[in-house]
Amino acid sequence: MVQAQRLRWPESKLLFPSHTDQTQPRDNFRKGLDRFKALPGVPADFQLYDLKRIAISLMLTGQGVSHEAISHYVDHKGNLETTMIYDLGLVDPLRPVAERRGALLGI
């Protein structure tokens, strides 16, 4: 993918430049996030940070990724205490709060 991008945009110093200005980064993510937030059932208060929490939880519970690796992937800079918050073993006591919030939101 990297080689294909370099061939596609040989003049740019960026790997994924804007189609209109190769000196600027592409900003398609925000548009995609806005489309996602407009879908039925997505809470109005959904934030980009929620995606980070979901990704961390999935890596911890279903993918077998080490806590150390996740800490670096999500830019916790090796702070395992921060990463461990997302471990279901530590989050489980918060389940009643999350369920109550879901009930209030109707989801």
Q: What is the pLDDT of residues 35-61, one digit of tens each?
A: 888 888 888 888 777 777 777 777 777
Per residue in 55-90, pLDDT tens? 777 777 766 777 788 777 777 776 777 777 766 555
pLDDT higher than threshold 60 for residue 25: yes
What pLDDT was estimated at residue 78? Answer: 66
> What number is the average pLDDT over the span 12-36?
81
Q: b vs e for 72-106, b when ≥16 Cβ sit within 10 Å of the residue's Cβ?
A: eebebeeeeeebbebbeeebeeeeeeeeeeeeeee
> Rounded to two decimals, what is the model's pTM?
0.41
The pLDDT of residue 15:
82
Q: Which residue has the tokens 């995609």?
A: 32
